[in-house]
Amino acid sequence: MNEPTDKHILVLNAGSSSLKFSVFKLEEEKLQVVFVGSARGLHSDDCNIKFTDTISAITEEVKTPKAAEGEIIATLFLLLQKKVKELNIITIGHRVVHGANLFTEPTLVYSNVITKLESLIPFAPLHQPTNILLIKICKEMFPHVPQVCCFDTNFHLTQNPLAALVAIPKKYRDAGVQNYGFHGLSYEYIAVKLKTLGIEDSKVLIAHLGSGASVCAIEHGKSIATTMGFSVLNGLIMATRPGNIDPGIILYLQDHFGLSTKEVSDLLYKQSGLLGISDISGDMQVLQKNNDAQSLLAMEAFVYRVSREIGSLAAAMGGVKTIIFTGGIGENNALIRSMIASKCSWLGASLNEEANSAVDKKTSCISKQTSSVSLWVIPTDENFVIAQHALKMGKLVTQ
């Protein structure tokens, strides 16, 4: 029986309740995405698994009530076997949220790597367990295929030491308590994209706005400071996370409402943010359509926090020349972009409303020619970055 000639890389990008995946075909050392998909509502009664063949543009959906990660990977693999000619997975790349200071670059998975990842679960209790579980599932299903972990924290290793510093006693800082920053794979993709666009600006702010949201200050392609810190809770208001919050509030909730650590964790990760303000949804599209007072308040609070953090990061960099919008909200919501740009007019940003309204999933400049700060929408692609790292690291095993 002939060995398959095609070579594929599987990328798994897991969130706390969702999973995105891509299959890339390797042709003459270049990566071509041939299959993408997502599973939303993991473990819920309405888990929706969507598969899209990027060549034929045919999409299929599978409803799987209370689907677990193992079932999704099994379903994905069976469908891929039917849909992808000569499926031959040579490497699997994983997005892992937290690498702390234990992992400073993409890393091949060996048994000791899993142990180290497990030690970081307290750093990212919602995301890290799912990341680890997927690695273990793939190890069982594809025992001879190299797996590569790509960390959201790596990109921010270059940030100013003062930005990373947390003002608590040294013994806790020595135990790893510091500001790390996240969404690094997204920022890495945008930083490379800026070079291809010929944007030479040295002072760039990238606003990754989605259900998880952050802003990053970048100089010469490197992270200087970012809004997220030790965990994914800090910074901007997000779908269900509050962003910046006075630590005294946590103490008050525990002392006066008797909340346990688990209850506080559930409150901060799952009940706050846009959902907490609106009491309706953490989805910006739902709030925009609903258009009641609480929904509008949630939207305005989101915009206020983004624009305020943009000002803070501009100060950290000593100015700003370019602002990039990316992520689900940043790429697709013209109204939110317009509201943020309006609040950044003091920085010299002037939005071209017509260009802003015409953005359609493409890289677009949306500022006026007279604007002293250029405004762009650039779709991000974390999975492509992961595939590149997985290919490079996987070769180390096969060489």
pLDDT digits (tens, 9 = 90+) for 172-186: 999 999 999 999 999
Among the listed residues 45, 46, 53, 152, the single catalytic one is: 152
Position 257 scores a pLDDT of 97
The domain limits of the chain are 8-158+393-398, 198-377
User: What is the CATH architecture of 198-377?
Assistant: 2-Layer Sandwich (3.30)
The alpha carbons of the chain give a radius of gyration, in whole angstroms, of 21
pLDDT digits (tens, 9 = 90+) for 57-110: 888 887 776 666 777 777 777 777 777 777 899 999 999 999 999 999 999 998
The conformation of residue 320, written as its DSSP 8-state character, comes to -
Q: Report the CATH superfamily, name and number, of domain 8-158+393-398.
A: ATPase, nucleotide binding domain (3.30.420.40)
How far apart are the C-alpha atoms of 86 and 94, rounded to whole Å? Answer: 22
What integer best gives the mean pLDDT of the chain?
Answer: 92
Is 152 a known active-site residue? yes
Interacting residues of 66 by C-beta distance below 8 A, sequence separation 6+: 43, 44, 45, 47
Selection from 34, 35, 44, 40 nearest residue 15 by Cα: 40
Q: Percent of the chain scored above 70 by pLDDT? A: 94
How far apart are the C-alpha atoms of 337 and 351, rounded to whole Å? Answer: 9
Common-topology check for domains 8-158+393-398 and 198-377 = yes
pLDDT at 54 over 80: yes
DSSP percent split of the chain into helix, strand, coil, nearest 5 = 40, 20, 35
User: What CA–CA distances, in Å, run from 232 to 28, 332, 375?
Assistant: 38, 22, 26
